[in-house]
Amino acid sequence: MDDGTARTADQLVELGFSQYEARAYIGLLGQEPLTGYALANLTGIPQPKVYETLRRLAEKRAVVQIGSDPARFVAVPAEYLLSQLDTDFRRRLAEVKVGLAELGRGSGGEELRVLRSPRSWAAIARHAGALLDAAERHVYLSAHADQLDELAPAVRRADEREVRLDVLCFGRVDLELTHGRLLRHASTDGMVYRHHQARQVALVADGQHTLWALAADGTQWDAVVAADPLLAAAVKGYVRHDLYLQEIYADFPEQLEAAYGPGLDKLVTPYAEAGESRAADRAPAKKTRTRRTRSA
C-alpha cells in the first residue's frame, strides 16, 4: 500500500475496523464486485483470512455480497459508510450517557465537577470572548472598565446577534447596547478605586456557561470556566443582585448614602471599627439597661 492508503487504513482502524477489514474495504472501494480470492491477491490479505474478514464487513454493512457461485463482494459508498458509523456512534454514546447517569443517581455518592482554571488574563480574555461569541440568548457580565474594554468587541458582536445583555461596569467604558442594558457601578465611585486594586470578571452565557475570574492584587489572576448549571446559577445570582442594587442606588443615592455612608461603605465595613454598632442600637431595652449597669 502507498502512504495515503496506509494512512486511511489506520484511520479506519481508529474507527473500530481491524487491519484486515480496513484493507479489504479499501481494496473493494471503487472496484467491480470481487471474489475473496481476487481480493486476497489485490490486498495481500491471507486467503484463509479473507472470507472471515468479508463476513465481518458484511455484518458492519460496509460491504454487500452479490451472488453465491462464486460469491462476489462490493464496497458500499464511503459517504454511506461514514454516515452509518456516525449514526451508530451517536446511538451508542447516548446509551452510555443514560447508563452512566442512572449509575450516578443510584450510587448516591458525591460527584466530581471538572473546572478549567486559566491563570493569565490573556487566557481568561480568550475564554470570555469565546463564551460571548457562542452565546445565543442571554448574557450576564460584570467587570471592571479596563477588562470590559478588551471584551467590548465580543460584547458588540453578541449585541448585533440580538443576544440579551445585562452588563455591569466598575468605572466607565465606551460601549452602547441595543439589546440589553449597561449599568455603571455608581455606588462605589470614589471609594473602591482609591483603596482597592482587586479586579474581577463574572460572565454567564445562556444560563449554562460560566467564567469567574479574580485578581485580588489587580495583576495575579485566577479563574474557573465551566459548563455547569449550578455554578452558572450562583454567578448569575451574584451579578443580578449587584445590578438590582445599582438600579436602586440610581433612584435613591442621597438616602442610601445617608444611611450607609459614601460608597455604601458601612455595608461592608465592620461597625465596631468605626466605634459604633447598629446591632447595639437595635438591641432590646432590657439588654441596653444591663450594659449600662455593667459600665457604671
> What pLDDT digit, counting tens, does each position of 253-294 carry?
889 888 887 777 777 665 445 444 444 454 444 443 333 333
Higher pLDDT, 21 or 97: 21
Which letter does DSSP use for residue 142 in this model? E
| pLDDT at residue 212 greater than cutoff 90 | yes
Closest CA to 50 of 29, 21, 78: 21
| pLDDT at residue 105 greater than cutoff 70 | no
Paired with 74 in beta bridges are 64
Burial of 171 (0-12, 13-18, 19+ CB in 10 A): middle
| pLDDT at residue 235 greater than cutoff 80 | yes
pLDDT for 293: 30
| pLDDT at residue 128 greater than cutoff 80 | yes
Task: Convert the pLDDT of each residue in 43-87 to its tens digit.
Answer: 999 999 999 999 999 999 999 999 888 999 999 999 999 999 999
Burial of 158 (0-12, 13-18, 19+ CB in 10 A): buried
Mean pLDDT (the chain) is: 84
| pLDDT at residue 239 greater than cutoff 50 | yes
Question: What is the model's pTM?
Answer: 0.56
Locus of grid cell 471474489: 35
Residue 102's CB: how many other CB atoms inside 10 A? 10
C-alpha 240/C-alpha 84 separation (Å) is 46
Q: Report which secondary-structure segment, H or E, holds 200.
A: strand 199-205
User: Cα–Cα distances in Å, from 52 out to 17, 58, 72, 91, 137?
Assistant: 13, 10, 14, 27, 54
Task: Convert the pLDDT of each residue in 20-36 to its tens digit.
Answer: 999 999 999 988 999 99
| pLDDT at residue 42 greater than cutoff 80 | yes
**Sequence-ordered list of residues with C-beta below 8 angstroms from that of 189, at least 6 positions apart, any chain:** 263
Closest CA to 127 of 224, 234, 206, 200: 224
Three-state SS at 106: helix
C-alpha 274/C-alpha 187 separation (Å) is 20
Which three cell numbers mark 46?
A: 491471507
Closest CA to 75 of 8, 25, 1, 9: 25
User: Cα–Cα distances in Å, from 106 out to 99, 121, 193?
Assistant: 11, 41, 51
Which letter does DSSP use for residue 185 in this model? -
Which letter does DSSP use for residue 29 in this model? T
User: For residue 229, is the peptide bond before it cis, meaning its omega torsion is within 30 degrees of 0?
Assistant: no
Q: Report which secondary-structure segment, H or E, holds 125.
A: helix 121-134
Locus of grid cell 453578541: 158
Task: Convert the pLDDT of each residue in 4-22 to its tens digit.
Answer: 889 999 999 999 999 999 9
Which three cell numbers mark 223?
A: 479563574
